[in-house]
Amino acid sequence: MPLLIYDIGLHDGGDTGHYLREGHQVVAVDANPTMCAAAKVRFRDYIQTEQLKIVNCGVAECKGQLDFWICDDHSEWSSFRREIASRNGAKHRAIAVPCVAIRDLIGEFGVPHYMKIDIEGYDGICVAGLNSAIAPQYISIEMDHLCGASDLGRLAELGYKGFKIICQNNAWHQVTTGNLAFYRWALINRSFAA
């Protein structure tokens, strides 16, 4: 049975391609017009059958326009946060992009079964824009060490009870000193335990 999936942070289309091959309906969102244009070519057959909708915009607190920082050296670092796009001295440049609130996207395309959020430093803003009426059954986000506890707290407020935290810094997803704070917070905050 096809499910509605949101890929917030389309990037190179790797995740979207997987969801489409599994037969799901996909709404793929990305602020980077170059990534959206490439995805429209790559997935043109899925777009024609309306299995895929590509939305070229950013997800922010409200509708408007923001500077989006394109990282020319590492496209996956492109972000609304300049410090992410420019880290390690990476070449970067700003473009103005239209933005919408996640609630507006859901109002247009429907409540998804699953939502993947990977938008380089703006993941928490996307989660903060959800409420219990529009929250998907399953969600995944990329957390950082600065906002992880608040992201987990917000997910708990939305009613999520089970979770899995992995470190993507290495191939074995091992616990590192840097991500132990998430594990400690989760153990203390037992409201998360399934």
- How do residues 16-67 score in pLDDT, each as one tens digit? 999 999 999 999 999 999 999 999 999 999 999 999 999 999 999 999 999 9
Residues 52 and 134 both lie in one domain: yes
Residue identified by tokens 């091992």 is 174
Residues 48 and 96 both lie in one domain: yes
Maximum CA extent, the chain? 49
Closest CA to 30 of 73, 76, 62, 63: 76
Q: What is the span of the domain harbouring residue 164?
A: 155-194
Domain containing 61 — which CATH number? 3.40.50.150
Sign of the dihedral defined by the CA atoms of residues 75, 78, 82, 84, in that order? negative
pTM of the model: 0.84
Number of domains in the chain: 2
Coil/strand/helix, residue 166: coil
Q: Show the tokens assigned to 79.
A: 């972000």
127-159 pLDDT, tens digit per residue, is: 999 999 999 999 988 876 555 567 788 888 898
Residue 79 DSSP one-character state? B
